[in-house]
Amino acid sequence: MTNFNSRVEFYRCPMGAVPFDTNIHFRIKLSRELHCSGAVLAVKDDRFGDTLVNGMYWAGEVDNGYEIWECDLRIDRVGLYWYHFILDTCYGRRFIMKGYGSEGFITDSDWEPRFQLTCYDKDFTTPSWLPGGIMYQIFPDRFCFSGEKKKGIYPDKKLQTEWDRIPDWRPNEFGMITNSDFFQGDLKGITMKLPYLHSLGVTCIYLNPIFEAYSNHRYDTGNYEKIDPILGTEEDFCELCAEAKKLGIHIINDGVFSHTGSDSIYFNRENRYDTLGAYNSKESPYYTWYKFIEWPNIYNSWWGFDTLPEVEELSNSFNEYINGEDGIIRRWIRKGNSGWRLDVADELPDEFIEYIREAIKTEDPEALLLGEVWEDASNKESYGSRRRFLYGKELDSVMNYPFRDAILGFLDCGDARDMLEIVLNVLENYPRPVIRSLMNLLGTHDTERVITLLCGERQHGRGREWQAATKLSPEQRAYGLSRMKLASGILYTLPGVPCIYYGDEVGVEGYKDPFNRATFPWGKEDKTLLDWYQRLGAMRHACGCLADGDLINYGSAGRTMAYIRQDDKEMLLCVFNGAHETITFRVPEEFIGGETYMNTQLEGEWLTIPMNECAFVRANVPEKKPEPVAEENTAEEENAEETETAVEPVAAEIDPDPEIADILATD
């Protein structure tokens, strides 16, 4: 018997994260056998430790020996909160804590997990152009070479002349991996391929770093003000942004602000530049940017790599350089970009991210600020404190690695219900403006290629020599291509925005860096997989409910994942068969005769779905939403709604050290 479920509107309305100062109505349903004489909703402020206490009121009996208790809650400040219910029963003090599926369960201990409540700024908005779109991540050196020879390239950079070869992976004579080989992919090459990206339905390109740097990944920034000469010129970047916008495509840049390169105009350890770097002199204008333990050779560096000296982000000089009126953030927005992705956002101070947001939104309120966070960003802790990423003053959204875990977990024989639970937890914890802009992904420059993960031999810690030599067999590849279709079908229909890591859509394979950063195989693409992605893109743009619709679990279990995306106009049923056999699936009545996509086989009320395939059926919204199969829909809940009594809501009391027992005793 359900006593509370934070994902069911009957028990909590509204559900999910809410703007602060929103009135939230809570209900719990208890067996009369408990002889409950008092109930309290206890809400702990995560940041300040205060507890908000609301007495609950008896609201009537329902059939089969149950009763309803309820209250209203209004929280007047942004933040993260944890809540549970406290009961006085004939068996003594009892608690309703959070169980699987956000279902409440009664226990005699309050050490169990509490329910999460995220309260965000009521004025929080995110860019309107991103929801419903498709992102595409490009590692610039490996996407497309225009063929134009460049000037001003450092002579110690190795320029590859064979586009199809494996990136250099062997250490140099000093045993170091330098990432100094370049395939000469450039900005003009990306501009040339804009029609191709448009054919995929792409609306946003996320570029890995493009600023001058020594390495091919360019996370060791040499000069934030200059495009790397191998990629082209500032004019090339402006042309790319302008031509992309003609096709409805926005460009966002990678902002690497937690560290620079040691080989940079700011640090200048290698003396490549004629500037006075922090390594060269304490009188350098950049000296305060860095934390020296013993100048000049001992300093804080990113994860111990001495080629990546960490910056002091809150140094007045650095902050002004990045976020000032003429700073780096605003400079490149003026050149045509539509926002920034923040590298290692969880290693940047909250205050610094707030400054970045202010700079971005001052220059262009519709520009995007996206953060790299690998965990649940709503309750992320780093460097000893809870992060404030999603309250409305910092990030617009994040790279959504939890969804990746859920998709790949399902394909790796995980139970669909457990994998969807990961998704539903994120949806419950994140503000709606964040959800509609989530960067959903299967692979990035930091992960193995998806097709390799899905069907290749597992790496199990084996080194680069094994990774370089190991390729998919024809049988593995054929199986992997079918699994790629299944994975991408889920990716394209979950809340948020799907992102393609360049080449995934044509079956590029590879293990870890640098093998996951191989060149795009122009002329050798897997046309069948490419056609699948193009059709997915067309479906996504045709179904408006995928932009900001709700997700309703429709009986996901075992090797079958099923859910409905729904807005106020239409709904899309999505079913995925991860089993090694064909399944049949009965659709809700509203979808009989609906519009089908992606070779979906619908006859009457039955879908036939072969192994590793998907089914998609669109229909108009009925007068009443289809009920989730997994949720309880009983007569007593309907009766409870009918017997609800009008009770004057009581405002929450703030007490840093509440005596809950006393409160219960006086109710």
Catalytic residue among 70, 343, 509, 636: 343
Structure-token pair, residue 126: 């995110």
Separation between Cα atoms, residue 634 and residue 641, nearest integer Å: 11
Q: Which residues pair with 585 in a beta bridge?
A: 607
Does residue 521 have a cis peptide bond before it, meaning omega lies within 30 degrees of 0?
Answer: no
* HSE-up (13 A, CA, CB side) for residue 121: 14
In this structure, are residues 275 and 268 in contact, taking their beta carbons and an 8 Å threshold? yes
Catalytic residue among 45, 70, 346, 372: 372
User: Which run of H or E residues covers position 474?
Assistant: helix 474-491
Residue 557, number of CB atoms within 10 A of its CB: 15
Q: In what order do the strands lie in the sheet with 583-586?
A: 583-586, 606-609, 601-603
In this structure, are residues 259 and 301 in contact, taking their beta carbons and an 8 Å threshold? yes
φ/ψ of 239, rounded to 5, equals: -65, -40
Separation between Cα atoms, residue 183 and residue 165, nearest integer Å: 9
Structure-token pair, residue 319: 């902050």
In this structure, are residues 420 and 556 in contact, taking their beta carbons and an 8 Å threshold? yes
For residue 123, give Cα distances in angstroms to 136, 330, 392. Answer: 29, 22, 8
Separation between Cα atoms, residue 451 and residue 477, nearest integer Å: 8
Structure-token pair, residue 485: 């279709």
Task: Examine the residue annotation and report whether 372 is marked as an active-site residue of this protein.
Answer: yes
Do β-strands 79-89 and 38-45 pair in parallel, antiparallel, or remain unpaired?
Answer: antiparallel
In this structure, are residues 87 and 109 in contact, taking their beta carbons and an 8 Å threshold? no
In this structure, are residues 658 and 55 in contact, taking their beta carbons and an 8 Å threshold? no
Separation between Cα atoms, residue 481 and residue 491, nearest integer Å: 15
Separation between Cα atoms, residue 294 and residue 280, nearest integer Å: 13
In this structure, are residues 342 and 255 in contact, taking their beta carbons and an 8 Å threshold? yes
HEC assignment per residue over 9-28: CCCEECCCCEECCCEEEEEE
- Catalytically annotated residues: 343, 372
